Amino acid sequence: MRTTGEVIREIKNGKVDSVYFLLGNDHYLQNLIINEISKVIFNKIEEDKTFLSPDDMKSEDIIDKITQNDLFATKKILVLRNPGAFRNKARKEFLSYCNDPIANNYLIVIENDFNDRKSITKELKKIKKTVSVQTPFPGEMKKWTKFMLSEKQLNYNENVIDMIVEIAGDSLFHINNEIEKISLNINDGEEITKDLINQFSGWRMEYKRWQFFQTLGNRDLNKSMILGLSLMNQGNSMISLMYPLSAFFQELLFIKNNSGTISTNNSYIPLPPSVIRQLPQIANRFNKEEIEYALAILGEIDKRLKTTSMSDEALFTHFLFSVLQANG
């Protein structure tokens, strides 16, 4: 299996194949390959591409689109999703085309399900090496962040890489969006530094939120208090913190109840990606009774928010002292 990086280097050097088989569900990597092919073939990204899927069209109509030979030899990019839905005659014609594609047609086949055992995957692998477009492991996010910054020809201080990954590193799509925001807020040639990023109010808030949950996970009462109250001074309320705090301790409880295993469906957790990855280690710093007590305190605060006029600062201080004071 080839990597996205290998394929991108080949395309940039002008070597473009007539058929690509992308295996994996990362939309940033899928679009990166599609756009790089478009830049080489048409000298621009915006040129029309034809997107096809058996989920939206009849299989025979898709096969007609793919196998249609243009009398004027016009170059075309065709993007086909979910080829596994082809059956019988349509599947045979599709595989036959992949073996003998039409000149000037560039077919990009995308199968989101990263499963080598699927029959369509096995059949396509006999024809063409697959390209992995699966979301990279956390350790690879820094490399891709540097790639995105370089692609946009942005100058940056190395220490901003960690900051970007900490805040947005749950997916390449989110990292790319954040880099887009940064690029729109700096002058040409200006170096991106932590201080510069901190000038963006949204980033400053997110980074402080990340720091807060880090210190909470480390059971550092003083730093958690300073950061939490600072968040409130910047417009957060106790109500806005209730959901992430509850999710934080609910996930810790899940880990305790499941032998240190994080839940597989953790995309809902409203926490920075690096904090989510550290939850199993954080769970080791709390016993089960402390986690349950923290959730009980949050339930009590939820009632007080609805029935009393206690200030957010008082409720937040009550929560932290109740949960962390023993080891603060």
The pLDDT, as a whole number, for residue 326 is: 53
Same domain for 6 and 128: yes
Instruction: Give the whole-angstrom CA distance, residue 322 versus residue 294.
Output: 8
Tell whether 189 and 240 lie within a shared domain: no
Q: What is the dihedral of CA 81, 84, 89, 90, to 10 degrees?
A: 0
Alpha carbon of 116 to those of 81, 107, 164, 240: distances in Å?
Answer: 16, 20, 33, 43
Q: Does one domain contain both 212 and 314?
A: yes
169 close to 42: Cβ distance less than 8 angstroms: no
Domain count, the chain: 3
| Residues 285 and 172 both lie in one domain | no
* pLDDT, position 10: 94
The CATH number given to whatever domain includes residue 192 is 1.10.8.60
Radius of gyration of the chain from Cα atoms? 25
* 172 in the same domain as 70: no
CA 91 – CA 120 distance, rounded (Å): 9
Band of pLDDT at residue 48, cut at 50, 70 and 90: confident
Question: Do 36 and 149 share a domain, yes or no?
Answer: no
Same domain for 156 and 79, yes or no, is no
Domain's final residue, options 199, 215, 239: 199
> Which residues constitute the domain of residue 47?
2-132
What confidence tens digit (pLDDT) does each residue in 178-235 have?
888 888 888 888 899 888 877 765 666 777 888 899 999 999 999 999 988 888 887 7
Q: Hey, what are 90's tokens?
A: 């349509």
Q: How far apart (Å, rounded) are the C-alpha atoms in residues 76 and 38? A: 9
Same domain, 120 and 145: no
Of the residues 149, 179, 199, the one at which a domain ends = 199
